[in-house]
Structures are given as C-alpha cells and as structure tokens.
Amino acid sequence: MAQIVEPAIVARRRALIAWTHRRHGVSHTSDARAAGFSRYEMADAVSTGGLVRVRRSWLVTPDCDPRRVIAASHGGRVTCVSAAGLLGLWVPPTEDDAGGIAQPIHVAVPGTSSRHPSDDTVLHWATGPAPVGRNMTDEPILNVLFHVAHCLPRSDALAVWESAIRKKLTDPAVLRHVAWRRAEAIALADLASSLSDSGLETRFVDGMRQAGVSVRQQIWIDGHPLDGLIGDSLAVQLDGFEHHGNPSARRRDLAADARLVTRGFVVLRFDYQQVLFGWDIVRETVLTAMAQGAHERPVARYR
C-alpha cells in the first residue's frame, strides 16, 4: 500500500528546495533553521532526493554547480579563478582545456581548516579585505580578486581584474581605495583600468608594459578601434578565440589591415594562441619591429 504524504509536508519540502535554489543551490543547515525550516523537513528533502547532504551541515541541490559542491565539502566558499568563472569573468585558459581535463577548484576556507587539500582543490587560507559570514556560500568580489592577485601571474591576474571592471562588478576607483594588505593586489589596483575590451588585450598590453613598451588603447583609425597602437604607426590587432573558423570575420579583418597599410601603418596581428601560449615570440616580434622603426613612420591623420 502506497504511503500517503500530507500536502503540507510536500509544500514545505518544495519551499525548502526552492529556498536552497535561490542560494545558488547550496546552504548551511543553521541558515535553513533560521529561515524557519525544521530538521525533520531537511531530512525529508534529503530522503526524497530533493536535496543532498554534504558533510554534516551543508545541503545542496542535485543540480548544484560542482564547484560549489566541492567548496561545501571543505566547509568553504568558491574563490579565485573558480569563482571568477562562476561570475562569467575572463579566466586564463590552459593548453589542456580543449582536452576537457578538469582544473582544480579554488576554495576559501577558515584559517583553522585542515591543510591537506585533495587533488581536485586548491585551498586558500588567507583572509580577504571584505568580511564574510561563517556560513556565506559566495565570496565578495573583492576577496575573489584578492586571491586571484596572489595566485596567478600578474598579467593573468590583471586580466581577471579588468574583466570584473568590464562586467561592472567593481570600479578602478574602488579598487584603489581598498586596504589590500598584499603587495600583489596593491600593484594590480594601481594598474587596473576599463580600457581593455578583453582578457587577451589586457595580457598583451601588460606584457608589453613589462617589456618597457607603452601601448595606447581605444585609438580609432579609419572608423574602427585598434586593439593597440605603439608610437605613431605600429598598429596591433588581436584575434580572440571566437575568430577561429569564422571566414567572414577573417576577410573583414584582412580588409581593415589593408586599409591601415595604405595609410602608412605597419600592422601586426596576433591570435589567441600566440598571445597566451607563445608570448616570447609575440614580444620579440614587436620589439624587432620597433627596432626597425615601424612605430615612427609618418601616417595619414586618423583623428
């Protein structure tokens, strides 16, 4: 004989599951109790498959993002590049990404937590500048950027920071007034701006900056913006990953390059793979072009 379930029990179960969904699919049992749900209602949701218990005190929905589930399993919050990915920010790819190899999940944990991360996690014990509650499931954006600054090479970290600015999750003026307490973050706060249109552009500009080369951005020539202009006449264009396999975009870019050449510019075009994984060749190409005076040629006025 089938068991009859009271409508009120079903309604409360659905309310708890919906409440957990609104919290990105993860919640602490003490927060659920504070929201008015009983231990019995939590146990009912778990026993019927509507929620999954992680450790002893965390509840997650079956479709919760795996990064959040791993963070809950450590009693922490997704942070650094993993949190940046959840927020839709630019994150540095790896050459193995195309092969589908999983990258470790970065998790912010209390300083008293175990210092034995598993192979699938990178644990962050440092305290970010923004306070967080004991049961918070998401890192404040400033803490995400704080961990990024300490964890990634400077150009990669700057690209993540400027992506957050483009997404309007923060502002350069705000970043400069934060008490970062770490040299890496302080340096990035001084550099970060809203000029770059992509992480690829940030990587190029900062890489050239470190080579002693100043790149001007947001310069319009022939009715189109350049990704970068060095000196008066060395134009740099960058092809993002989305250009792969797009013949019409490629033809449009070649036509734009040709128009620049007729105006006296020298045009260097680099693609996603070159900037991210062949930087030494990119840098040497630009420096060689400058040594040949490519940045000092007379050009047609473009203002």
DSSP state string for 259-289:
HHHHTT-EEEEEEHHHHHH-HHHHHHHHHHH
Grouping H, G, I as helix, E, B as strand and the rest as coil, residue 68 is helix
CA 180 to CA 176: how far, in whole Å? 9
Q: Topology of 199-291 in CATH? A: Endonuclease; Chain A (3.40.960)
Return the closest-CA partner of residue 160 out of 202, 123, 125.
Answer: 202
- Which stretches of the chain are DSSP H helices? 7-22, 29-34, 39-47, 66-73, 80-86, 141-151, 154-166, 172-176, 183-191, 199-210, 247-262, 272-277, 279-291
**Domain positions in the chain:** 7-64, 67-191, 199-291
Tell me which amino acid residue 116 is: H
Asked if 67 contacts 78 with a C-beta cutoff of 8 angstroms, the reply is yes
* Residue-level pLDDT at 300: 72
Q: What is the enclosing helix (H) or strand (E) of 83?
A: helix 80-86
pLDDT of 163-204, one tens digit each?
Answer: 999 999 999 999 999 999 999 999 999 999 999 999 999 999
Extract the tokens encoding 301.
């006025």
In this predicted model, what pLDDT tens digit does every residue of 85-135 receive, in sequence order? 999 999 998 655 444 445 889 999 887 666 565 668 899 989 999 999 888
Q: What is the pLDDT of residues 217-268, one digit of tens each?
A: 989 988 888 999 999 999 999 988 665 557 777 888 888 899 999 999 999 9
Mean pLDDT of the chain: 89
In this predicted structure, what is the pLDDT of residue 99? 47
User: Which positions ≥6 away from 245 have C-beta within 8 Å?
Assistant: none
Determine the Cα–Cα distance for residues 222 and 267; give it in Å rounded to an integer. 14
Give the Cα separation of 128 and 271 in Å (integer).
35
Count the alpha carbons within 13 Å of 186 in the hemisphere toward its beta carbon: 5
Can you give the C-alpha Rg of the chain in angstroms?
A: 25
Domain 7-64 of CATH type 3.30.390: no
DSSP state of 234: E
Find out whether 203 and 237 touch, Cβ atoms under 8 Å. no
Residue 29 in this model has a pLDDT that exceeds 90? yes
**Residue 15, amino acid:** A
7-64 and 199-291 share one CATH topology?
no
- pLDDT of 268 reads 97
The answer to whether the pTM exceeds 0.85 is: yes
How many Å is the maximal CA-CA distance in the chain?
90
Token pair listed for 17: 């599951």
